[in-house]
Each structure stands twice: as C-alpha cells, then as structure tokens.
Chain A
Amino acid sequence: MITFLTTVGIYVASMLVLEGVGWLFNALRMNGVRKRTEEWCKTLPLTGEDRRLVESNRELMREFFPDGIENTLRGMPLDERVELMKNLIDRANSVYGVDVSVVKFAPASELGECTYGQFEREGNTVSVNLDILASDEGDVMRAIVGTVFHELRHAQQYKAITDENYAYGSEEQRRLWALNFAADNYIQPEVDFVLYQKQAVEADARQVAEHIIENF
C-alpha cells in the first residue's frame, strides 16, 4: 500500500514538474514574442547629431518667431501665415538636408479634419492643413508649427534608409526606421491609433519636433 501510494505520489509530482517546466518554457517564449512585437514601438533617445539638428532648427525658430509662436501668429491673416510657413519649410528643408520640392497648403476636406500635415514620399511634398493653420487657438498654432519639423523629420527618416550618400543617422536609428517602414510593419492610424503613435518613426518625429518648438 505504501509502495503504491509512493509510486502514485512520485508520478503526480513528476507530472506537476513537467507541467510547470512546460508552462515556464511557454511563458518565456511568449514573453520573447511579446517583447519583439513592440520592437519597433520604442523611442530612441536623441543622438548628438539630433541635438545639433534641433539647435540649428531652434535658431530658425528664433528668427521666425522671436516673440513666440502665439504672439507671432495671433491675428495674422491667413495669406501671411501661408507665406511664413512656406518660408519656414524652405529654410528647414536645408537644415535637415532633405529634398522636399513641393509645399502644399490643403483644406481639411482634402487632408482630413484632424490631420495637421503630411509628407508624401513620391512627390517629396509636405502638406499643411490650411483650415488648422487659420486657427487662433494657442495649442493649435503651436502644433501646426511643430508639424513642419515633424514632417521634415519623416523626409529625413526615409532618406536615411534609402540614400547611400546621405550620412545622417546612427546604425541603430536606421535599422529601427527601416524595420518600421517595412511592408505591413508601419501601423496605420485607421487601424490602431495607439500603436501608430508609439511606433518608432512617429515617436521619433514627435520627439524632434517637440524639442525644436519647446518654449516658443
């Protein structure tokens, strides 16, 4: 009887250990899977090169918005805002070293009500939402100026991963951007707005733009 119970006990203990090991193995494996799922949903810190880019653009900001964004834009007619933004984009284009060749100001009906701006790789075009540019709300005015630097950063990301002669970007940055832009990896805002914002290329562009317009 004792032998029988011992045998059963050993058998049950062995099964529990095996189950436990199996569970642990699977948990570790799925943990790795989950970590890799978010591999391109991370924000790399700014490099020294990025900081120099930010500072050069902040010099532009001091030139275009000496009294701050709100004080400069508030009450300004739309046509003057368009002219100012066009010149800002033109100058920032050179600072970034990218090849934006067209600047477009389009209504919300074309871009989308909540879309402040857009970079189109095919035509090397930066678009700005005209209806949002017309706003006199402080946060909106700041955000639309930030959009310029955000879109140009996208132009820079693309160039960094496709143009062999373009020296910008660390190896880590280029790999992350290349992976994020790979087919089906780029998360569309219409599908998952949260991860769209968190993915590397968007988080990076937002980070750079925020540093450029900070305190303006």
Chain B
Amino acid sequence: MITQTTIVLKYIVLRKRMMNEPYRYTERQVFHTVWRLLHVDPEIQRAFVEWFTEGREPRLKYAGISYAELRKHRKMNEFNAFLFMDELKRNPDAALNMLVANDASLTAVGLDELRPELRDYVARKLKEQAADDAKKKEEFRLHDNGSITFKLK
C-alpha cells in the first residue's frame, strides 16, 4: 500500500517530530504509534499522510464525531486523534463508550517492586517483547537511529 510505504519513508521525520515538543514521545511510544498507523483503515491512513506531508486538515467524521472535535474538545494530539478515528470507524459503539468517563494515567511498576514470584515472569516477557519489536521493525525495515533499508531482490 502506497501510504504504508510513505509512512515508512517518513519514519525519520515522524520520529523526530514526535520526540520533540509538544509531543515528547519516548522511543517506544514513537514505535508504538507508527506501528499502529501502519495498520489503520486505508482512508484514515491517506488522511494521515496528507496531513503529515501537506499539512491538510482531515475532514474525517465517524459516528457523529469529527477529527476536529477530538482535537478541540478532547485535547487529543494529531497522532492520537487519527488512531481514535480508526476505532470510531471500525467499532463506533465501543469508541463512543470510551469517551464517557476517564481517569488519569497511572505510574509504572519497576521489576524490583514486584512480588518475587512475578519478577522472573515479567523479565522474560519483556525480553520476548523486545524480540517482537525487532521483528516488527524488520518487517517494515525501521531502525532506531532513523535509517531505513530496503533489501534488493
């Protein structure tokens, strides 16, 4: 899909933008968001690419909620709003329900704070996740230092 390729090609620029103000994403959050954007509905992906490359404000609206409303009333940043539009399109009822009541985000728990019997399990799972992230990056040829490579056939 051409928009997927565009997103992959723009990874360096996307990463830089997301890690700076006002977003200040971590490396993992950048990768999580890009991975999610690579799998959203094609119409939303097109709108995202148009926004990112041409600055065109999307006119997306599903289940009575528009992108602009998410930005203005829910204070979602652009990346978050695109991801939410995808859910509104795919699962409108569930998405609308999500908007009802929210609480503030929670804090992480370090390995050393966990009950002893949970530490090994979580440590092992985190290793698996790191391996999975590497596989995902391999699929789309994304690299942490911002370089992108393509295997020639």
Contacts and interface: CB of A to CB of B under 8 A. Distances in A.
B151 interface: no
Contacts of A127: 104
Contacts of A192: 32-33, 36, 80, 83
Chain B interface secondary structure, helix, strand, loop or mixed? helix
B115 interface: yes
Contacts of A144: 101
A164 B116 contact: yes
B131 to A, nearest CB: 9
B87 A143 contact: no
A162 B103 contact: no
B95 interface: yes
Q: Which 9 A-B pairs have the closest CB atoms?
A: A143-B101, A118-B104, A181-B109, A194-B87, A178-B118, A184-B28, A197-B98, A183-B108, A33-B132
A160 B98 CA distance: 26
Interface stretch (B4-12, B50-58, B60-68, B122-130): B122-130
Contacts, number: 136
A187 B104 CA distance: 12
A38 B35 CA distance: 12
A162 B100 contact: no
A119 B108 CA distance: 13
B128 to A, nearest CB: 7
A22 B79 CA distance: 34
11 contacts: A30-B136, A111-B104, A115-B103, A117-B103, A154-B103, A182-B125, A186-B105, A186-B107, A189-B105, A193-B83, A195-B36
Contacts of A151: 103
Given A143-B101, A161-B118, A33 B135 contact: yes
Given A116-B102, A117-B103, A151-B103, A191 B135 contact: no
B121 A175 contact: yes
A194 B102 contact: no
B95 to A, nearest CB: 7
Contact of A162 (B28, B79, B115, B139): B115
Contact of A114 (B26, B74, B114, B139): B74
Contact of B108 (A115, A164, A182): A182
Nearest to B121: A175
A190 B122 contact: no
Contacts of A39: 125
B107 A122 contact: yes
B115 A36 contact: no
Q: Which of B28, B108, B136 counts the most A-chain CB atoms under 10 A from its CB? A: B108
A210 B89 CA distance: 25
A118 B89 CA distance: 29
B106 interface: yes
B21 interface: no
A143 B33 CA distance: 29
Given A36-B132, A143-B100, A181 B108 contact: yes
Nearest to B115: A164
